[in-house]
Amino acid sequence: KGRCLRKPKVSSAARVSQHNVGGRSAQRCLVPTWALFVVEGTTSLSSLPSYSSDTITEEVCREDDVGDGQLLEVTVAGYPVLLVRNRREFRALGSKCPHFGAPLSKGVLRGERLRCPWHGACFNIRTGDIEEYPALDCIPSFKVTVEDGKVFITAKRKVLTLPAVTEHRQSPTSSSSSSARCQRAEVSSPAGVAALVCAETLRQEGFTGRIIMATKEKHVPYDKSKLSKVTMLSNVTRAALCQVSVDFQKQKVHFMDGSSQKYHQLLIATGSHSGFLKVPGADLQNICTLQTPEESSKILELATGKNLVIVGASFIGMEVAAFLSDRAGTISVVEREPFPYQHALGPQVGGVAMKMLQNKGVKFHMKTELCELKGKDGKVSPAFHMQTNIPKVFAAGDVVTFPVALLGGDRSSIHHQQVAEAHGRCAALNMLGRGEELHTVPYFWSTLLGKSIRYAGREGHRGEQSNSFHQDGHVTAAASLNCDPMVSLIAEVLYLGKQISKEEAE
């Protein structure tokens, strides 16, 4: 319930396309974007594949070929399908995570919950529905039948041929005249992943009122994690609408162009901003921060064939160095700590990552402080329900500090996509009065020169002999370098509320 529902109620203001799937009229809401798959119908079984115009039934293996709890990738009509055996029951699902195409056969299965090995997205094996982000789409599920010790999968051909990774349609919700007749308006600002998931969840849960996203950016919601990899977005833009103030008593948002908008409930999801260099000459040309697609394009243009200096050796700085290592003339990374990722992942992972980039010609100047970076003060502090101390006002994403269950409710500010999406969903459900508490395990990821870095949980004290973090003798987080799906396994253990002792981790 509440996890990418199969038949959402969609506002007439939203763009909806109709597909006839398995004899039913199914809706795919284009904004917010998500995938809808309904598969049903049976055919006679035999040892040979059975084909109809749009339905395929095929034997994929023997019953005793798959052990309990095993994940096996099989093929149906030449297309990969994931076969799962759980408590003696067989389930069949799409084989790839819709986020980045990770093979789910290498994931972690606990009960009826399957976790992606790369970025921690979770799916229900009965329905294919999302149970944890960062994926925004569910995966298809197929009918499985066992006859005479043989396992058969029945699937719709057009579902099998869908791409493994959904290319999310970046189309804003149209403001048709019908939306003006709605009695309630939910306003979110700006249109990042927290706001996107909040809007999507409201629609899935049956909210048919008006939803307004206001942002100072020209782009509709996009994946900001790709900016540090200098991945260009499409040229689809909209006029920006930047809010300047909120009158909480009158429940009205005022915008820079002089217009205003009444709201019934408000989500503040303004994100965070890069720090600025506080040294003489910081205002000269060719000094860039990385916050938007335009800045990403500018950095790529300026760095190609030239000398590049990157201040900071955490996730974004290291990803930019890796991406530009064969494009820039020279790259120098300046960092005041002894190792990259010093506070987030520790010296073991940081040392290996630094060596990888050094082998590509990147120079590191560690323990060197050229500037002072200051974060934003005045964080919004919602509770587990993402409700602020102001009635009808919620907050989500990088702008908030929030109670982290893994740290006993201690507040923390976590700037990452998966957490922002979880915030957005929680806020949406509580706008609808569901009393939903935030329950998620923070999951971070990065890739350097083809090597994966994973981190799940929240930092406590770092273990001396391992890349685990602990508080009161129990593990609260773990990190890995090119060791999938280890971190996903630990994330699932932490999600289930089980404890791993410091001694077990080390």
Encoded tokens for 324: 């530009």
> Sorting pLDDT into bands at 50, 70 and 90, what band is 4?
very low
Q: What is the pLDDT of residue 307?
A: 86
For the question of whether the overall pTM of this predicted structure is more than 0.85, the answer is no
Question: Percent of the chain beyond pLDDT 70?
Answer: 70
CA separation for the pair 400, 379 (Å, rounded): 5
Residue 458 pLDDT greater than 80, yes or no: no
CB atoms within 10 A of CB 4: 23
pLDDT, tens digit, 9 for 90 and up, residues 275-288: 667 766 666 677 78
> Sorting pLDDT into bands at 50, 70 and 90, what band is 473?
confident
Helix, strand or coil, per DSSP, at residue 123:
strand
CA separation for the pair 141, 89 (Å, rounded): 14
- Taking alpha carbons only, the member of 84, 87, 94, 103 closest to residue 151 is 84
Encoded tokens for 116: 């992606």
443 Cβ contact partners less than 8 Å away, ≥ 6 residues apart:
119, 120, 134, 416, 418, 454, 455, 456, 487, 491
> Sorting pLDDT into bands at 50, 70 and 90, what band is 382?
low
Q: What is the pLDDT of residue 8?
A: 35
- Range in 314-323, 364-373, 472-481 with the lowest mean pLDDT: 364-373
Residue whose entry in the numeric block shows the structure tokens 């410091």: 502
Average pLDDT of the segment spanning 42-62: 68
pLDDT, tens digit, 9 for 90 and up, residues 122-146: 999 999 999 999 988 899 999 999 9
Cα torsion for 214, 220, 221, 222, to the nearest 10°?
Answer: -150
pLDDT, tens digit, 9 for 90 and up, residues 18-35: 333 333 333 333 333 332
116 Cβ contact partners less than 8 Å away, ≥ 6 residues apart:
97, 99, 102, 104, 107, 122, 123, 135, 488
Angle at which helices 315-323 and 347-358 cross, to 10°: 20
> Sorting pLDDT into bands at 50, 70 and 90, what band is 53?
low
Residue 362 pLDDT greater than 50, yes or no: yes
Average pLDDT of the segment spanning 138-164: 90
Q: What is the pLDDT of residue 368?
A: 82
**What are 103's strand-pairing partners?**
96
Average pLDDT, the chain: 76
CA separation for the pair 218, 190 (Å, rounded): 11
pLDDT, tens digit, 9 for 90 and up, residues 64-123: 999 999 999 999 999 999 999 998 899 999 999 999 899 999 999 999 999 999 999 999
95 Cβ contact partners less than 8 Å away, ≥ 6 residues apart:
73, 80, 81, 82, 103, 104, 105, 164
Most confident of 212-221, 226-235, 343-352: 343-352
Residue 460 pLDDT greater than 60, yes or no: no
Q: What is the pLDDT of residue 235?
A: 42
Residue 169 pLDDT greater than 50, yes or no: no
Q: What is the pLDDT of residue 9?
A: 35
